[in-house]
Amino acid sequence: MNFYADYVRNKLNAAISSMSSQIEDYVKNPGHDFTRNRKMNFTSTINFLLTMEGGSLNSELHKYFNYDLNQITRSGFIKQRNKLKPDTMEHLFHKFHEQILCNKKYQGYQLLACDGSDLNIFRDPLNPHTYFAGKEGTFGFNQLHLNALYDLQSRRYVDALIQEPYEENESSAMIEMIKKLTANQKTIIMADRGYETYNIFANIQERGLFYLIRIKDTSKKGSISGSLSLPVSCEFDEEIELIMTRKQKFYKTKGYKYLSNSSPFDFLDSENLFYTLHLRLTQFQLENGVYECIASNLDRDEFPLEKIKELYHMRWGIETSFRELKYTIGLTNLHSKNVEYICQEIYAKLILYNFCEIISANVILEERNCKYTYQLNYTMAIQICRHYLRQTFVTIDVEGLIKKEAFSKMKKTCIFLNLGFGPIVVEADLADALKNNQIAAAGLDVLCEEPMAANNPLYAIQDSRKLIITPHTAWASIQARNKLMDIIHQHIADFLA
């Protein structure tokens, strides 16, 4: 893994450490939970949730603890995860997202797609909140519904909301997530049919944001475009101003839109009888002859019809992300019937997805003189990132790793270099290897003790053809310093973006 991968992992570790330092906010019994010295503490419980794959709990625990016979038991882990508050993993999801900015834009705009997806969970007829009875002679099933906002350019989830199926309402979920976005930003929220409501349009307008939502075409009954008497079978691009009201006398008045009391609309009440909504309705024909209709509040000059078409096609990125989340990351592989535990795992998978995408987006594939363009193997990238993250809390003792036995296996022509960590080498054994011509030479930029101690055995090697020691300046080449300045410049630009 490269420098950037370490940077991303450190950001996630910092978020977990921050929560661990305020553990009373994230456990059910503050002052009691995670206070005793157990095989799984607060941090390792979260890390295990993040890196679980699709095996049984026992199998996953075996892998996590490197098949240690003294590992925690399945029931022991369940007791540990039960100590976490229901929103702990959701909090970590947001905390990690805030650590690394979404910098990729489209014409200076952040593109957020909103959609929902049903998640089949373990069958549990005793849970009336998630269980659907099957038809006669068939088994029923249990579901939850995941609503998400997905950044199409940065390819990561920025918000998520889990609903039980009998309370499922994608429109209200979208509005709840919209209200958490920073107001008055160049953000375009994109969605498919199903989010075709005046209330959503108004909420986005009130936040000072932008939207592009596919709606039913003018030929469909109940469509917004059809109610405005727009053409059925031709392309158009119309800007419309509607005055929303619940006053029935404006039911058929041109320029007004009457809403019954049963139609949700957050900006009409006894004191606010009217609300002005600005709409741009665009209809265009696809290659198969079908017409698509788009509602937006985007400027016509900045986003002409061709740009609207381009953005419409980009929205499908969230569909691809759901597929990767379910089948590559493993959201279909859950480890409990308990809805609280399932929600822990859903947010853990969302965090892992973002972690992998942030790192993968910075992978540079070697260009080859080939007919085809090489693409990253995302399935393999997930496995590598999961393994890499799993090693976060594994401490490897490397002091004295390179010693007499290692030097005896090297060729006599070997030139040994250490530019990283001084104590990795047993310096007395290195001195012996040089004296006895077991290796040809050595170049060191780091030592076990700096400045060099007077009794350092390497003082005995006075032949500069055999040993060169530099004063810990391997980082100071022109190329390294230029790269350092580039990284600092990029961090400043990211901060100010």
Query: What pLDDT, in 10s, does the model give residues 271-330?
Result: 999 999 999 999 988 888 888 899 999 999 999 999 999 999 999 999 999 999 999 999
Between CA 182 and CA 87, with CA 24 as vertex, the angle to 5 degrees is 45
Q: Give SS3 for 212.
A: strand
What does the pLDDT look like over 233-254, one tens digit per residue?
788 899 999 999 999 999 888 8
Task: Categorise residue 114: left if φ over 0, alpha if ψ from -120 to 50, beta otherwise.
Answer: beta
pLDDT at 366 over 60: no
What does the pLDDT look like over 369-384, one tens digit per residue?
665 555 567 778 888 8
- Residues with Cβ within 8 Å of 28's Cβ and at least 6 positions away in sequence, in order, are 82, 83, 84, 85
The pLDDT value recorded for residue 370 is 61
Predicted confidence band of residue 457 (pLDDT cuts 50, 70, 90): very high
The pLDDT value recorded for residue 363 is 66
The pLDDT value recorded for residue 21 is 92
- What is the distance, to the nearest Å, from the Cα of residue 286 to the centroid of all Cα atoms in its chain? 33
The pLDDT value recorded for residue 394 is 46
What does the pLDDT look like over 408-449, one tens digit per residue?
999 999 999 998 878 889 999 999 999 999 999 999 999 988
Q: Give the whole-angstrom CA distance, residue 14 versus residue 316.
A: 33
What does the pLDDT look like over 205-236, one tens digit per residue?
999 999 999 998 766 666 677 677 777 778 88
What does the pLDDT look like over 314-341, one tens digit per residue?
999 999 999 999 999 999 999 999 999 9
The pLDDT value recorded for residue 360 is 85
What does the pLDDT look like over 148-205, one tens digit per residue?
999 999 999 999 999 999 999 999 999 999 999 999 999 999 999 889 999 999 999 9
The pLDDT value recorded for residue 398 is 58
Q: Give the whole-angstrom CA distance, residue 231 versus residue 219.
A: 9
- Residues with Cβ within 8 Å of 211's Cβ and at least 6 positions away in sequence, in order, are 188, 189, 190, 191, 200, 201, 204, 295, 296, 297
| DSSP of 266-288 | TT-SSS--EEEEEEEEEEEE-TT
Q: Give the whole-angstrom CA distance, residue 128 versus residue 166.
A: 9
What does the pLDDT look like over 108-120, one tens digit per residue?
999 999 999 999 9
Higher pLDDT, 302 or 479: 302
pTM for the full predicted model: 0.76
The pLDDT value recorded for residue 135 is 84
DSSP secondary structure letter of residue 5: H
- Residues with Cβ within 8 Å of 430's Cβ and at least 6 positions away in sequence, in order, are 402, 407, 416, 442, 458
The pLDDT value recorded for residue 396 is 44
Predicted confidence band of residue 395 (pLDDT cuts 50, 70, 90): very low
